[in-house]
Amino acid sequence: LASRTAHPEPSVIEVGSGKNVARFGGGHVGMIAGPCAIESAERLDKIAGAIKKAGATVLRGGAYKPRTSPYAFQGMGEDGLKLLREIGDKHGLPVVTEAIDPRHVELVAEWADMIQLGARNMQNFVLLTEVGKTQKPVLMKRGMAATVKDLLMSAEYVLSQGNPNVVLCERGVKGFDNACRNMYDVCAIPQTHELSHLPIIVDPSHATGRPEMIPACALAGVAAGADGVHIEVHNCPEDALSDGPQALLPEQYAELAQQIRKVAEAVGKTI
């Protein structure tokens, strides 16, 4: 179902409803931005206002965080989902948030416009199947040791349940060089487009883990044909509860968004 041979035209995935619809694929570049985790109403509101002004089309924020350490901040849970919905609506932004547990899928689907499946869960087939039973758009991140074909097989789990709304995401794979958090694979973009009609976006925040490298990698992704850009933005990265060191400041995001728009136009796409 994900294959391009069966479906030669690129799919356009729409997120949100009414006049606040974000589009991914088929000439549309979706702009997802926001903090790694939902931390408080005040912070999320500030960040959402700034990214909307900069031209973002979807607000992100994790309510359930898949942390490497069980002692690290695990997210605000259901309270976070409600905050995300409220603040997204206030700023006219559809919202995406991660589901990490099959038992939470229904709840996440109730509050969010798009369900994220994280890199750590790309092959959690029980979770994929649950998400496939909803009709919510899905943001499926590439596992850190997964090939593009593995990613497409995971998409197949969602599609085969009757949910056709899958957006893929390149977020870096484990490499041998610890200069960056992960190894950013720009080649995954044309490779995905060759094999599949599904949109693929880039996440240079998790791919690099280094704010100074995010703009170059974001622009390279769009130049290579990415159908969207996912960036973590925080107004005080130094006391963020997760992924602070890789967050862009709102003003840095605003500058990058302008450059993304220019590159998108140069390759014949619109935001």
Rg (CA), the chain: 17
Minimum CB distance to ligand PEP, residue 262 (Å): 26
**Interacting residue ranges for ligand PEP, rule: CB under 6 A:** 36, 62, 66, 118-120, 141, 171, 206
- SS percent in the chain: helix, strand, coil, step 5: 40, 20, 40
Asked whether the beta carbons of 96 and 57 are under 8 A apart, the reply is no
Question: Which residues touch 67 (CB under 8 Å, ≥6 apart)?
Answer: 73, 74, 242
DSSP, collapsed to helix, strand or coil, labels residue 67 as coil
Does 98 sit near Mn ion (CB under 5 A)?
no
Q: Which is nearer to Mn ion, 59 or 152 (CB)?
A: 59
Binding mask 230-249 for Mn ion (x = CB under 5 A): -------------x------
Q: Which is nearer to ligand PEP, 10 or 185 (CB)?
A: 185
Q: Which is nearer to ligand PEP, 10 or 93 (CB)?
A: 93
Q: Which residue(s) pair with 166 in the sheet?
A: 138
Minimum CB distance to ligand PEP, residue 35 (Å): 9
Burial class for 266, CB neighbours closer than 10 Å (0-12, 13-18, 19+): exposed
**Bridge-based pairing state of the strands 58-60 and 30-34:** parallel
Does 36 sit near Mn ion (CB under 5 A)?
yes
Does 138 sit near Mn ion (CB under 5 A)?
no
Of the ranges 29-37, 50-58, 68-76, 137-145, which one interacts with Mn ion (CB under 5 A)?
Answer: 29-37
Minimum CB distance to ligand PEP, residue 121 (Å): 8
Minimum CB distance to ligand PEP, residue 118 (Å): 3
Query: Sign (positive/negative) of CA torsion 98, 16, 49, 223?
Result: positive
Applying CB under 5 A, which residues contact Mn ion? 36, 243
